[in-house]
Chain A
């Protein structure tokens, strides 16, 4: 896939969406945010994805759990703050019930977040400790290097352990 005159963000967004499709993800619940928002038009253009906008990331996790249990490999796209908001649902549905889903998280407030500020730094600092406390496997992406392999591997992992796996996007994804 080639984008003439496209920004880096669009190329990376296309890589993410292509890799999700290749890995078999076909359902995405989402609460839009800034950093990864270029994936939205690409997801919308591709009829292989069923998209559901939500009002709250906890709802996004619950709906994705239903989709996953109904046979559509599911992802939830959210900002880092969404991990805090949905942590109870991640625990009781993702971990305790054991439902596979992929979390696509804009890792705002990380050291490599190009838009970092006093608004984002504290939620960013605590994001990985929250995932660790929930024992959710995660991978941090700073660039598009090996992105397809990592997404494919993350989806294999979520199916293998039947639990959520988180992908955190920072660095080049936060321009």
Chain B
């Protein structure tokens, strides 16, 4: 299963959900396939899940989707006990696990290439609906459920390491511009001011 194929399935399903992404090729691929104003692709390892939790807490009527990677989640495993304890029903977490640190030109294996089972870690932290999928058809089935159902889902998607993202032109929008676009979209769709401070 390839991450790009998963994203091709997922992107048309995004309407008014908020999508929080981390770093690596997934940021480039998702940004290319889904130009949604509700994307917040933070370009940092270990931060997307926490931001998604914060957004899901304060906007309980909005679906929040987090796109994580194995390297990013391994860097921030401390999020999982909080995720399990809060069990936010409006949150869906996808972990695209290619079992390598592929940001480098020479990929090095991550812990999930060994004995670490991220869905198992999440379950032991209290995330009841945590599972692993390895085939695109299973992904489609579970991803649709994750988007439609009002229950916390944590889907580890085992994907091949690919260099697909290197064929895509990188976004030229800097992070402040990206953030403002996201916040203005939220202000418009929520009907409230988010950024305060008199001009």
Spell out A's residues near B (CB within 8 Å): 24, 27, 29, 50, 52-56, 58-59, 61-74, 88-89, 92-93, 96-100, 156, 159-160, 162
Q: Are A27 and B179 in contact (CB under 8 A)?
A: no
Q: Are A66 and B50 in contact (CB under 8 A)?
A: yes
Q: Are B82 and A93 in contact (CB under 8 A)?
A: no
- Knowing A96-B175, A159-B195, the reply to whether A69 touches B55 (Cβ < 8 A) is yes
Q: Which residues from B are CB-within-8-Å of A73?
A: 196
7 contacts between A and B (CB under 8 A): A29-B54, A52-B82, A53-B82, A70-B186, A71-B192, A93-B42, A98-B175
Spell out B's residues near A (CB within 8 Å): 20, 40, 42-44, 46-47, 49-59, 76, 78-79, 81-82, 85-86, 175-176, 179, 182-183, 186, 190, 192-197
Q: Are A156 and B57 in contact (CB under 8 A)?
A: no
| A57–chain B nearest beta-carbon distance, Å | 9
- Knowing A69-B183, A92-B44, A93-B44, the reply to whether A62 touches B58 (Cβ < 8 A) is no
Q: Are A59 and B79 in contact (CB under 8 A)?
A: yes
Q: Are A65 and B51 in contact (CB under 8 A)?
A: yes
Neighbour of B58 across the interface among A50, A56, A59, A160, CB < 8 A: A50
14 other A-B residue contacts (CB within 8 Å) besides A58-B46, A66-B57, A162-B197: A52-B57, A54-B78, A62-B49, A63-B50, A63-B57, A66-B20, A66-B56, A68-B54, A69-B179, A69-B194, A70-B54, A93-B44, A96-B44, A98-B176
| B94–chain A nearest beta-carbon distance, Å | 17
Q: Are A63 and B195 in contact (CB under 8 A)?
A: no
| B37–chain A nearest beta-carbon distance, Å | 13
Q: Are B195 and A59 in contact (CB under 8 A)?
A: no
| B43–chain A nearest beta-carbon distance, Å | 8
Label chain B's interface by main secondary structure.
helix
Chain A residue at minimal CB-CB distance from B174: A96
Q: Which residues from A are CB-within-8-Å of B52?
A: 66
In the assembled complex, the Cα of A168 lies from the Cα of B43 at a distance in Å of: 29
Q: Which residues from B are CB-within-8-Å of A93?
A: 42, 44, 47, 51
| A87–chain B nearest beta-carbon distance, Å | 13
Shortest 4 CB-CB contacts between residues of A and residues of B: A66-B54, A62-B50, A56-B78, A66-B51
In the assembled complex, the Cα of A158 lies from the Cα of B72 at a distance in Å of: 28
In the assembled complex, the Cα of A24 lies from the Cα of B20 at a distance in Å of: 26
In the assembled complex, the Cα of A55 lies from the Cα of B49 at a distance in Å of: 14
Q: Are B54 and A97 in contact (CB under 8 A)?
A: no
Q: Are B194 and A70 in contact (CB under 8 A)?
A: yes
In the assembled complex, the Cα of A156 lies from the Cα of B54 at a distance in Å of: 21
In the assembled complex, the Cα of A89 lies from the Cα of B76 at a distance in Å of: 11
| A13–chain B nearest beta-carbon distance, Å | 24
Q: Are A71 and B186 in contact (CB under 8 A)?
A: yes
Q: Which residues from B are CB-within-8-Å of A56?
A: 78
Q: Are B182 and A69 in contact (CB under 8 A)?
A: yes
| A85–chain B nearest beta-carbon distance, Å | 10
Q: Which residues from A are CB-within-8-Å of B44?
A: 89, 92-93, 96-97
Q: Which residues from B are CB-within-8-Å of A69?
A: 40, 51, 54-55, 179, 182-183, 186, 194
In the assembled complex, the Cα of A139 lies from the Cα of B176 at a distance in Å of: 26
Chain B residue at minimal CB-CB distance from A67: B54
Neighbour of B179 across the interface among A62, A63, A97, CB < 8 A: A97
Q: Are B196 and A66 in contact (CB under 8 A)?
A: no
Q: Are A159 and B196 in contact (CB under 8 A)?
A: yes
